[in-house]
Structure 1
């Protein structure tokens, strides 16, 4: 299906659908009743499938429209894995900025993070009106195929594990130096220590002096 939202749906002929996982016919019927006769035809209840089948099915969409107050989490990741552009508008809370973080870790396609509701609707309209623009975006997102996706930070589980282990080792080292009156002692003197990653992809300490 094709997606659109807000002002975009008013100017662009498109089919807006809300895809929900089916939790049984009784639950589905209750949702249809709450949606009413105008909106219920736009709801698609999807049966649970194996991961690959789920991704192939999701790839039928052109654009994934993220919700504002509570962002998509795993659903946004699944959409990106299927090569679907995710348009999001970050808010001020953690749950309203999840998709922005996901897109940052994904890499190509992160230009679909918008700043205002007007920009959100404008980008959706452009993607749906300009098929070449949408195809160029999807090609950039899928560079390298499945292997290329697996090498990106968002899907690089082994790399994330190594980085996390590096953080733990540095925290242990800091605790030991604190006991010995080393680095940790400087914290009490107003120096804050942060773990950062250098351009060489090696973990190192960086000191930042507080102004307080």
Structure 2
């Protein structure tokens, strides 16, 4: 049984706390609704006045208030179930979804998000990066947010491919392998305890976002140098083994790193690129499988349409293979 989900397709949803929905983002959501005929927007209500206020604001923006579905607070079982019956999660900005985003992704619901510069605006981008699907539904600007929302609401084939990649990546990503994540987190705590016992009071812990090449950067954020590598900054992706270095006192520039530290850095770098290589090859294979499945039709008219949409899949495969080639070259240097 599916509960508390409006009938029809598509159903956009934003089950964050309603106070996260700012006027600018609400206007963007209404633009998407206006462009996608028959669409509905489900938004969470925690107070009796929330629904009335949101429907009034929708009417001000030229949207029939009946297209705004006021969702209730449900227990976890039905909360996850309504995600599975929805089409696309429209993230809030600048304070985005956190726990709710994890629940939506667990249910296989794609999330459209625009990461900003703050931590609170980048949680969804980080989660999608861990899944290796950040390039599918992360955008740079508010205009791109509206454009992609309209595309995914109108083009069911595009939406099907996006959702299929998300569901496929769940089985290979560390995001939902809590046992592996827990082991690495325990190791991090052990390292911090040992540093405390050794009298080291201040440390720097370096992390890189997994599959960061698939995540868009804010226009105001400088691009990362193509020559940078984990070995240069002793950075590895979390939840992989963390690299912890004392920040005080600072080491003397004339003091070379120990052989043990060099070996640890090299091992961390190799682990990072080995993992990236495996992720990109796996993503390329999954996309190739989708392409093969699409081209199995014997209907000539249908085949003509599929050939056009399949070009996007070919581009995706090429991009993944280029990233895998880069990881392979870096792996040879580490």
Compute the TM-score of the two structures, normalised by the length of structure 1.
Answer: 0.72
CA distance in 2, matches of 1:190, 1:6: 57
Structure with greater proportional helix content = 2
Describe the superposition over 1:150-177 as per-residue Cα deviations: whole angstroms up to 9, x where unpaired.
6522222211211112222333444566
CA distance in 2, matches of 1:36, 1:123: 24
1:190–1:169: structure 2 CA closer, same or farther, 3 Å change rule? farther
CA distance in 2, matches of 1:168, 1:133: 43
Match of 1:49 in 2: 75
1:186–1:90: structure 2 CA closer, same or farther, 3 Å change rule? closer
The alpha carbon displacement at 1:47 in A equals 4.4
Give aligned pairs, total.
Answer: 187
- Within the alignment, does 1:85 sit opposite 2:110 as a pair? yes
Match of 2:43 in 1: 19
**Is the CA contact (8 Å cut-off) linking 1:70 and 1:96 kept in structure 2?**
yes
- Within the alignment, does 1:200 sit opposite 2:271 as a pair? yes
CA RMSD between the two structures: 3.3
Unaligned runs of 5+ in 1: 202-212
Unaligned runs of 5+ in 2: 1-9, 13-27, 59-64, 201-244, 273-334
1:136–1:33: structure 2 CA closer, same or farther, 3 Å change rule? closer
Describe the superposition over 1:34-66 as per-residue Cα deviations: whole angstroms up to 9, x where unpaired.
335464641322241342x32222211111100
1:124–1:170: structure 2 CA closer, same or farther, 3 Å change rule? same
Map 1:60-139 onto structure 2 (within 5 A): 60-108=85-133, 110-139=135-164
1:159–1:199: structure 2 CA closer, same or farther, 3 Å change rule? farther
Match of 2:242 in 1: none
Structure with greater proportional strand content = 1
CA distance in 2, matches of 1:185, 1:91: 28
CA distance in 2, matches of 1:121, 1:71: 16
Describe the superposition over 1:4-46 as per-residue Cα deviations: whole angstroms up to 9, x where unpaired.
825433332242323315x5xxx32x22343354646413222
CA distance in 1, matches of 2:99, 2:33: 25
Which one has more relative contact order, counting CA pairs under 8 Å at least 6 apart?
1
Match of 2:83 in 1: 58
Map 1:4-15 onto structure 2 (within 5 A): 5=29, 7-15=31-39
1:189 to 235, 241, 251: 251
CA distance in 2, matches of 1:171, 1:50: 35
Compute the TM-score of the two structures, normalised by the length of structure 2.
Answer: 0.48
CA distance in 1, matches of 2:247, 2:150: 56
CA distance in 2, matches of 1:47, 1:185: 45
